[in-house]
Chain A
Amino acid sequence: MIEAINLRRTYQTTTGVVRRKRLDVEAVRGISFSVDQGELFGLLGPNGAGKTTTIKMLITLLLPTSGQARVLGHDVVDDAREVRKRIGYVFGGDRGLYERLSAYDNLRYFAELYGVSGHRQRQRIDEVLELVGLKGREKERVEGYSRGMRQRLHIARGILHDPEVVFLDEPTIGVDPVGARDLRQMIADLITVGKTVLLTTHYMFEADALCDRIAVIAKGEIVGQGTPAELKGNVAGGRVTEIEVFGVDEATVVRLRGVGGVSAVTVEEQDQKQLLIVQTTGERELTQPLLAELDGVEVGRVASREPTLEDAYVALVTAE
């Protein structure tokens, strides 16, 4: 249904005012993946990893610098119009809606653009409003909507013309936990009605809960690909040790990375303290050697646990 082959995208930017220099920024560096029918495929990566650029190439808003991409067999460059007819897409965030119009007027306009026939429009708009839980609020202007309501409206717009493939770019970003949970349920429901979904997110639990397969993308490259279980399996056999510390410096973190059996160390700032997340390979207990490297640093709670998808993700995106 979706196929990306060695897809690459370079942006050109300039620096300086008088002596202008042209810079090439490689946002996507030759990525390849495919998504099967009825699959929910996740592109997982940190901010600036190239997720949105990838999705924008697939939905025909950006031209690839090189490589090829096909959606439902249609090339996204040569056959953009055919692709556009058959896909739906949803961007996260506040923008992308006609603020001064009601939700109903927004949907009615897009129904016309996507060729939903006149006699079917009212029924279809009612269906999607019901599906996203905006029934009863559709006559209100969008400018008065909360972030969660806007996201629901984005989804309603994206599926209004009943597309076979839906692209969701960080659909739960900035939405409160309850609203985000509802949106995740909505996304899961899309699969049950036979849609193929490509989802980008940087929320691990979201990807873990929703996706059949995930590609982890970092610095424009796919650094890992597989089912959530397979990705977790990449760090399986190892353990994760979490150590609370107060005022650890970079030199100490570097020393910890040098301890035999340590595969990755990340530092999470937590108010006055930091949480060191140390991933280890093999079954060897490394708590003592790690604490020895922390000599002179105030240490709080120490815990050891099984790796999660987040650990797999961190290991993949931090690997040099």
Chain B
Amino acid sequence: MSVLRVVWSGFVMNLKMLGTSSFFLLTSTLQPVIFATIAFYMFKSGGRTGTLLYAALGAGMMGVWSTTLFGSGGMIQWQRWQGTLELGVAAPPSMALVYLPFSLANAFTGMYSLAATLIWGRIVFGVPLHLAHPWLFALALPATVVALGLMGLVLASTFVLYRYANALSNLLEYPVWIASGLVFSTAILPTWTRPISWALPPYWGILALRHAALGGGVWGPLGMLLVLGVASIVISAYTFRLFEHLARARATLSLT
């Protein structure tokens, strides 16, 4: 069994499934446009027209985070309802490996949010799409998506044990937007929130993207994305193993 083959086939399979979901396509199409419109009007009313691209990137990342969060949260629950969670558990590869491509695919589809936001901003609000470091932007984008996907994998592991843990998804959407500085700068938040922001891949992701687009150091945030990505792999490998064992003991893998 090749790890890459398992990841690739799971990734492609999940994209195919997401592509056939009308609900997913509709929300994915509309949500970023709504976010973008609100963000642009907020920043315009503040009279800071020079920061429109800053706002566009933040709004786009809000969509990426929402897609990753609800995708990862719903993934395990949806598999449980569909009766395929047990198939994933009973397969020879580790659970973390089985579900890694699902999380990556969710985060990957979130990239659409970013693209849609930037295009919407360009066409409707005339946001200039001049990027200070286009190549670094091209590097920061997939790095952010992968880091978010890996964070989604950690969240997904908790849903293996707790049947209704996807309610947690609803709690984590807005706080992460705020703590990551997607809507406004984290500089205006209390100092004690800083460590929380630093532990969040969306914080470093948006920093990397904004610096690549508007100017600033990109390698530092990219390094942090790498560190958090590796940490997420280690944590999820452990939590999936632990929660799988507990789920087998508590019989929470299926609904019956």
Known: A61-B90, A96-B83, A99-B82. A109 touches B251 (CB 8 A): no
How far in angstroms is the closest Cβ of chain A from B250?
Answer: 8
Known: A91-B83, A93-B83, A114-B91. A61 touches B9 (CB 8 A): no
Interface centre among B16, B245, B251 (most CB of A within 10 A): B251
Known: A61-B253, A113-B6, A115-B1. A105 touches B86 (CB 8 A): no
Number of interface residues of A (CB under 8 A): 31
Point out the residues of chain B lying under 8 angstroms from A97, CB to CB: 82-84
Point out the residues of chain A lying under 8 angstroms from B248, CB to CB: 60-63
Question: Which applies to chain B's interface (DSSP): helix, strand, loop or mixed?
Answer: helix
Point out the residues of chain B lying under 8 angstroms from A98, CB to CB: 13, 17, 82, 84
- A81–B97 Cα distance when bound, in Å, is 14
- Residue A122 CB within 8 A of the other chain: no
Known: A91-B83, A96-B86, A98-B13. A113 touches B249 (CB 8 A): no
Q: Are A101 and B86 in contact (CB under 8 A)?
A: no
How far in angstroms is the closest Cβ of chain B from A157?
Answer: 8
- A109–B84 Cα distance when bound, in Å, is 12
Point out the residues of chain A lying under 8 angstroms from B83, CB to CB: 91, 93, 95-97
Point out the residues of chain B lying under 8 angstroms from A91, CB to CB: 83, 86
How far in angstroms is the closest Cβ of chain B from A151?
Answer: 13
Point out the residues of chain A lying under 8 angstroms from B86, CB to CB: 61, 91, 96
- A36–B81 Cα distance when bound, in Å, is 35
- Residue A202 CB within 8 A of the other chain: no
Which one of A63, A100, A157 contacts B17 once the chains associate, using CB atoms below 8 Å? A100
Known: A93-B83, A97-B84, A98-B82. A114 touches B17 (CB 8 A): no
Chain B interface bracket (under 10, 10 to 19, 20 to 34, 35 or more): 20 to 34
In chain A, positions 66-105 with a C-beta closer than 8 Å to chain B are: 81, 84-85, 89, 91, 93, 95-101, 105
Which one of B17, B84, B92, B249 contacts A96 once the chains associate, using CB atoms below 8 Å? B84
Q: Are B16 and A105 in contact (CB under 8 A)?
A: yes
- A115–B13 Cα distance when bound, in Å, is 16
- Residue A195 CB within 8 A of the other chain: no
In chain B, positions 80-109 with a C-beta closer than 8 Å to chain A are: 82-84, 86-93, 98
Q: Are B17 and A113 in contact (CB under 8 A)?
A: no
- A100–B5 Cα distance when bound, in Å, is 21
Q: Are A112 and B90 in contact (CB under 8 A)?
A: no
Which one of A11, A59, A85, A109 contacts B9 once the chains associate, using CB atoms below 8 Å? A109
Known: A11-B251, A62-B251, A98-B82. A105 touches B13 (CB 8 A): yes
How far in angstroms is the closest Cβ of chain B from A255?
Answer: 39
In chain B, positions 1-43 with a C-beta closer than 8 Å to chain A are: 1, 5-6, 9-10, 13, 16-17, 20-21
Q: Are B13 and A113 in contact (CB under 8 A)?
A: no
- CB-nearest residue of chain A relative to B20? A100
Q: Are A81 and B84 in contact (CB under 8 A)?
A: no
How far in angstroms is the closest Cβ of chain A from B168?
Answer: 21
**Can you name 25 A-B pairs with beta carbons within 8 Å?**
A11-B251, A12-B250, A59-B90, A60-B90, A60-B248, A61-B86, A61-B248, A62-B248, A63-B249, A85-B92, A97-B84, A98-B13, A98-B17, A98-B82, A98-B84, A100-B16, A108-B9, A110-B91, A112-B5, A113-B6, A113-B93, A113-B98, A115-B1, A115-B92, A141-B20
Q: What residues of chain B have their CB less than 8 Å away from a CB belonging to chain A?
A: 1, 5-6, 9-10, 13, 16-17, 20-21, 82-84, 86-93, 98, 245, 248-251, 253-254
Q: What residues of chain A have their CB less than 8 Å away from a CB belonging to chain B?
A: 11-12, 59-63, 81, 84-85, 89, 91, 93, 95-101, 105, 108-110, 112-115, 118, 141, 157
